[in-house]
Amino acid sequence: MNYFLTEEQQMIRDLCHKIGAEKIKPVREHYDETGEFPWDIIKLLAEADICGVYIPAEYGGLGGGVMEMVIATEELSRFCGGISLSFAATGLGTFPIILFGTDEQKKKYLPDIASGKKLGAFGLTEANAGSDAGGIQTTAVRDG
């Protein structure tokens, strides 16, 4: 089914399907059973430039956006929800840098995330809010 994807988006989908069928499907039970983080799969995704699919080209990514990340995540999830989530969750820490980070922060973090050398992260849980991002009470106060 074609959802009016661009040629580049179709290529992303097809590449993720190929990686999923050939590399993820054979090992998905192992990761589900052991709870190990799939670094070898993340490395494969990085080598295929999928880790940087949503990161601006000037920082080493492919220059796509949310749609391209969703396409990759959806296709990977056909083979393993856990591995797909491991890929997608890095965006929780990366998109704030893309959208609101300083040039210095973008230069420091985005190339390593695009290359798969590092992952983005999002600290969420706090005592009074649990995992409700809308209920976070922590604030920052400039001191100096």
pLDDT digits (tens, 9 = 90+) for 77-105: 999 999 999 999 999 999 999 999 999 99
Cα torsion 62, 6, 120, 23: sign = negative
CB atoms within 10 A of CB 80: 21
Domains and their CATH numbers in the chain: 7-135 (1.10.540.10)
The reported pLDDT for the residue numbered 133 is 79
Q: What percent of the chain has pLDDT over 90?
A: 83
d(CA 72, CA 90): 13
pTM value surpassing 0.95: no
- pLDDT score of 117 more than 80: yes
Query: At CB < 8 A and 24+ separation, what contacts does 1-6 make?
Result: 5/71
Q: What percent of the chain has pLDDT over 70?
A: 98
Q: Which residue has the higher pLDDT, 19 or 123?
A: 19
- pLDDT score of 2 more than 80: no
Sequence-distant (≥ 6) Cβ neighbours of residue 85 within 8 angstroms: 77
Sequence-distant (≥ 6) Cβ neighbours of residue 23 within 8 angstroms: 41, 44
* Amino acid making up residue 143: D
The reported pLDDT for the residue numbered 58 is 98
1-15, 28-42, 76-90 — which is least confidently predicted?
Answer: 1-15
The reported pLDDT for the residue numbered 3 is 64
